[in-house]
Homo-oligomer: A and B are copies of this chain.
Amino acid sequence: MATEIRRLTFENESANELYIMRDDLLPFSMGGNKVRIAQAFFDDMKHKKCDAMIIYGSRHSNLCRVLANLCFCRGVECVMICSHEEQEDTQATNNTCLIDWTGTQTVHCGKNDIAQTVERVMEELRAQGKHPYYIYGDKTGRGNEGTAASAYAEAYAEIREFEKKQGWEFDYVFCPSGTGATQSGLICGHLLAGDRKKIIGILISSRETKRAVSVISDGVGSYFEKNGYALSEDYEKEIILRDEYRLGGYGKYDDRIRECIRTQYVLNSIPLDPVYTAKAFWGMQEYIKANALHDARILFLHTGGTPLFYDFLAKEGAGNTRC
């Protein structure tokens, strides 16, 4: 599993060079960072001798799409717990439709009922003689942070490989930060390589910042512990999470995001979505300006979510006078 890194057209006056890593093109289930992360969960499930997978996410969840698909392909039972914000639009998305195609049972719950829903589904599966595996660990979503982090701890080698070929190192790597798994993994890779680059996560949800940093820290800690690596005491200073670009929270966006999506499609022919990648890309551009970065080599990790790009297009483009 490896994807292309290439340079993008990037208008700026500060001689920065922008590159992109196209993990949206990973060749499974419409691609994205969740292809790597889902594989890590699946392997962990097998390792733990479990035979049924419980997945969790919103109706925009790319991870649930990939896990549902992976479980179908491997003949493993899969149940999705889908949480909803209050007063949220409940219309089906491309991801919910693709999940539905796999025959995955979906259990809906409110944002405050996740733990008890996980517990109930676990018990139901056990009553059927199954050994269920909840991707996030215990019912409160803790205990399996290291597994998710391992995906990008390993993918980091591809960035190093590219740098080696170029004969230079990136100064910055930007990525969307939602669950924190991708950023945790990249930080693990960075710490293990002992290189000098900065990994900057753009928080895309309304998760409390201190909590988000703590989740990333747990991911790094768990991965190091699981693999028996020594972790320096001050590793938390490597966690750079910017929370000023979330624009109202998960799934919320405005004209700046719309403009970013259109511009990056026509200029660099890449699809960005309003929930994750466009917000992170726009946030990166704002960060570059606000911090006057110059003469820097910058990598944007395209974490995928192409089905959400097409949700956006269907809503705001095709069939709509705005197109």
Nearest-neighbor residue (CB-CB) of A263 within chain B: B101
Say whether A94 contacts B266, CB under 8 Å: no
Q: Is A190's CB within 8 Å of the partner chain B?
A: no
Residues of B within 8 A of A27 (CB): 4, 6, 22, 25
Say whether A9 contacts B317, CB under 8 Å: no
Q: Given A69-B269, A101-B266, are A318 and B29 also a contact pair (CB < 8 Å)? A: no
Say whether B318 contacts A94, CB under 8 Å: yes
Nearest-neighbor residue (CB-CB) of A98 within chain B: B265
Say whether B319 contacts A92, CB under 8 Å: yes
Q: Given A73-B9, A102-B266, A266-B102, are A314 and B314 also a contact pair (CB < 8 Å)? A: yes
Q: Is A96's CB within 8 Å of the partner chain B?
A: yes
A255: shortest Cβ distance to chain B, in Å?
15
Say whether A91 contacts B318, CB under 8 Å: yes
Q: Is A292's CB within 8 Å of the partner chain B?
A: no
Q: Is A267's CB within 8 Å of the partner chain B?
A: yes
A48: shortest Cβ distance to chain B, in Å?
24
Chain A residues within 8 Å of chain B by Cβ, number: 42
Nearest-neighbor residue (CB-CB) of A72 within chain B: B266
What string of 1s and 0s marks CB contacts (under 8 Å) between A68-104 and chain B? 0100110000000000000000011110111011110
Residues of B within 8 A of A31 (CB): 25
Q: Is A247's CB within 8 Å of the partner chain B?
A: no
| Interface hub of A73, A269, A311, A314 (most chain B Cβ within 10 A) | A269
Q: Given A92-B317, A314-B310, are A323 and B97 also a contact pair (CB < 8 Å)? A: yes
What string of 1s and 0s marks CB contacts (under 8 Å) between A280-323 and chain B? 00000000000000000000000000110011011001111001
Residues of B within 8 A of A189 (CB): none
C-alpha spacing A318/B100, complex, angstroms: 10
Residues of B within 8 A of A323 (CB): 92, 96-97, 100-101
Q: Is A185's CB within 8 Å of the partner chain B?
A: no
Q: Is A146's CB within 8 Å of the partner chain B?
A: no
Selected from B73, B96, B271, B318, the residue in CB contact (under 8 A) with A93 is B318
A46: shortest Cβ distance to chain B, in Å?
19
Q: Given A102-B266, A310-B310, are A318 and B96 also a contact pair (CB < 8 Å)? A: yes
Residues of B within 8 A of A22 (CB): 27
Selected from B4, B30, B91, B318, the residue in CB contact (under 8 A) with A271 is B30
A-B contact pairs, 20 of them (CB 8 A): A25-B25, A25-B27, A28-B269, A29-B269, A30-B269, A69-B269, A73-B267, A73-B269, A91-B319, A92-B323, A94-B313, A96-B323, A98-B313, A98-B317, A101-B262, A101-B265, A101-B323, A310-B313, A311-B318, A314-B314
Other than the given A73-B268, A96-B318, A101-B317, 20 more pairs (CB < 8 A) read: A6-B27, A9-B73, A25-B25, A25-B27, A25-B31, A30-B269, A69-B266, A72-B267, A92-B323, A94-B310, A94-B314, A94-B317, A97-B313, A97-B323, A98-B313, A98-B317, A101-B262, A101-B265, A306-B306, A311-B318
